[in-house]
Chain A
Amino acid sequence: MRTAKPLSPPSERRRARRRITVRADRARLVRVCQFVGASAAATGFDERTSHACQLAVCEAVENVIQHGYQGEAGEINVTVETTPGALTVEIADRAPAFDPTRYPVDPDAPVHESRVGGRGILMIRRVMDEISYERRGPQNVLRLTKNQPFSGV
């Protein structure tokens, strides 16, 4: 007798996962942006929310290139998972351990030139609805989730 395959819940059926691997090279940031933009469109996000996600992910990837690998050769895996209304982006690298969720950022601190870098982390926190970090063996894994529309700060 044949049994019907149980159906997964609707959200599972519409879940998609895609990944790209880029060199730790600033010239690859545009590719990451395009990848995130296309993925954000698949979730049904509006243009403004999609742009905010691209900005946050590019800031995170740029931090890995600049402060993680520091000019050394390396790779960065960017994995996106989309469901209707939610985008999760996982950024994995093999640079020395760095946890951006614990980096102190004071939005009201006076702006000094050298500290503008910390602004990138502030941008990530302000855009994303959930942020988590994990050191997985030799890898930094930063997980960013957007599940609400972005309508300004």
Chain B
Amino acid sequence: METSTQVYQRVAVLSVKGRVDSTSASDLEAALKKLLDEGRTNLVLDLSGVEFLSSSGLRVLVTTLKAVRKSAGDLRLAQLSQRASDAIDLAGLDVLFKTYEDREAAVASF
């Protein structure tokens, strides 16, 4: 798994590529925690490059969502790959997240 971050004035976008499973979920958690530690609570996850997303990866998304919402922020999802979208739906977590077809729309939603 690889992540890259793009920071705007009010929003940070984390792009995720590759496999997010129990061996890489901690790396995703660390990348998100770094943004939280910088005081960023308006987050967009660009999931267009996600090839595999297991429940371990989903756990990180849910944990982060709760953390940012406590600080009146939000974690929104953009450009979901078919595989990421299927994993989120199968886990019944689609109702938790606001999702956007393109990244610019997700950024502009804050």
Contacts and interface: CB of A to CB of B under 8 A. Distances in A.
A152 B59 contact: no
Interface of A: 26-27, 29-30, 33, 48, 51-52, 54-55, 58-59, 62, 66, 107-108, 111, 113, 116-117, 119-120, 122-123, 126-127, 150, 152-153
Contact of A119 (B21, B86, B93): B93
A43 B86 CA distance: 21
Given A29-B23, A51-B83, A66-B22, A111 B54 contact: no
Q: What size tier do the contact residues of chain B reach?
A: 20 to 34
B86 A48 contact: yes
A60 to B, nearest CB: 11
Contact of B55 (A27, A33, A116, A152): A116
Contacts of B83: 51
Which secondary structure dominates where chain A touches chain B? helix
A79 B18 CA distance: 26
A90 to B, nearest CB: 20
B63 interface: yes
Contacts of A123: 55, 87, 90-91
Interface of B: 19, 21-23, 52, 54-56, 58-59, 62-63, 66, 82-83, 86-87, 89-93, 96
Contact of A62 (B56, B89, B91): B56
Contacts of A113: 59, 62-63, 66
29 contacts: A29-B21, A29-B23, A30-B19, A30-B21, A48-B86, A51-B82, A51-B83, A51-B86, A52-B86, A55-B52, A58-B52, A59-B55, A62-B21, A62-B54, A66-B22, A107-B92, A113-B59, A113-B66, A116-B58, A117-B55, A119-B58, A122-B90, A123-B55, A123-B90, A152-B86, A152-B89, A153-B86, A153-B89, A153-B90
